[in-house]
Chains A and B, each alone.
Chain A
Amino acid sequence: MSLHEWAVADAIVSSLVNFCSSRGASRILKVEIVYGEAMEYNLEVLRDAVEYLSKGTPLEGAEIVFKEEKSIFRCNACGAKWDIAEAERLINRALKVEEEGEGFESPLHFIPELASSLMRCPKCGSPDVEMVEGDSVRVSKVVMG
């Protein structure tokens, strides 16, 4: 069972409830949640958590669509780009976070911004690398009633 997804789901639901209230809307009809593949969310857990935490809020009963985005990494020194498979091969740092009952996980699961601490450019070796696509969780669409 992935635990961190619950905290992320809590953040998504809180922000949507606040957003709905700030716009004076009474309910949310549809949301589209996008997250990077490097974050390695367990979609089933994330979906269950969002639905569970939505109960009794304007989000309850809304159509919730999840989209996983490809993660792309880029070197700012030489311009090289690579995908998640290459990134996993490149990870040469032992940065670890322990998820209860799950063992150790990559920090990218929790803080995707840390890509640059975990790998160097496969082409030129520069540490000035970053994830430029599929690097966050966001709500790409909110339809309110």
Chain B
Amino acid sequence: MSEDLKQFSILRSEALKRIDSSKVFLVGSGKGGVGKSIVSSLVALELASRGTKVGLLDADVHGSSVPTILGVNKVISVGRMGFHPIEFESVKIMSLGLITEDEVVPLRGERKSGVIAWLLSMTNWGDLDYLVVDLPPGTGDEVLSTLRLTDGLVRRSLAVSTPSAVAIRVARKYVSLMREEKVDVIGVINMAYSLDGTSSLFGEAEDLGVSKVFRLPIDPGVEEFIRGVRSWRDLSSDMLKGVREIVDELISI
């Protein structure tokens, strides 16, 4: 019999081989701008600070933010086993943004799937305990491709939203997709309350449709962290406590 193998299948085999020992945490949302990349980065940093081996894949092809958040701008290099991820506080980072920097990346659906497949399968992750994937908002190509590329691995997802009814309602669609894909989802309501406890920016969050929800505060220190003038370890105690609780829950599987 004669058959064929498309590029995506070839890269999927390699991706699964390279991260087969890793648990995968998919960080998604409905809307953009809700703090997904911040949550991904802080979760990865917290995991690494506990002595685990962590990879962080930025799967947001058009809106890559992880390099900016972590302040990494090194040139990606390649060896015999593929791309060398950039390390930041022991987190191994791979992002298209490290290659394209500020250039616009106009890509249609299938091409985006190809980019994610190359990034995941050709990165020399080494042995990972956890791979955190920062997904773009919504339920499009990059999200579906990441699901296919990690099929069969132990996976959980974080659905990130602000308390805004608009963000919550769209985030529910992401939650539904993950459920249909048999991926357990926990919720994160970012920017849920002010640090002095006096106000909530949007009022109480509506039901995200998940059993466990964690709340993170509006912490001005986050922007200082992004601008490189504050360490993530010096964020507010509320923020750090929230991130620790999220990680405790994630690794309980």
Contact = CB atoms under 8 A, between A and B. Distances in A.
Interface of A: 3-4, 6-8, 10-12, 14-19, 23, 93, 95-100, 105, 107, 110-114, 116-117, 127-130, 136-144
Interface string B1-23: 11111110111111001000000
14 contacts: A7-B80, A11-B122, A12-B10, A15-B12, A98-B76, A99-B77, A110-B78, A110-B122, A116-B106, A116-B111, A117-B106, A138-B4, A141-B2, A142-B3
Given A3-B79, A110-B122, A95 B11 contact: no
Main secondary structure on A side of the interface with B:
mixed
Interface of B: 1-7, 9-14, 17, 75-83, 96, 99-101, 103-108, 111-112, 114-115, 118-119, 121-122
A16 B114 CA distance: 19
Given A110-B83, A139-B10, A116 B2 contact: no
Nearest to B98: A97
B1 to A, nearest CB: 6
Contacts of B96: 111
B114 to A, nearest CB: 4
Nearest to A136: B7
Q: Counting chain B CB atoms within 10 Å of each CB, which of A11, A14, A23, A144 scores highest? A: A11
A7 B114 contact: no
A4 B78 contact: yes
Contacts of B13: 11, 14-15, 17-18
Q: Counting chain B CB atoms within 10 Å of each CB, which of A3, A15, A98 scores highest? A: A15
B14 A117 contact: no
Contacts of A113: 107, 111-112, 114-115, 118
Contacts of A137: 7, 10
Contacts of A6: 80-81
Contacts of A99: 77-78
Contact of B76 (A97, A129, A143): A97
Contacts of A23: 1, 3
B99 A107 contact: yes
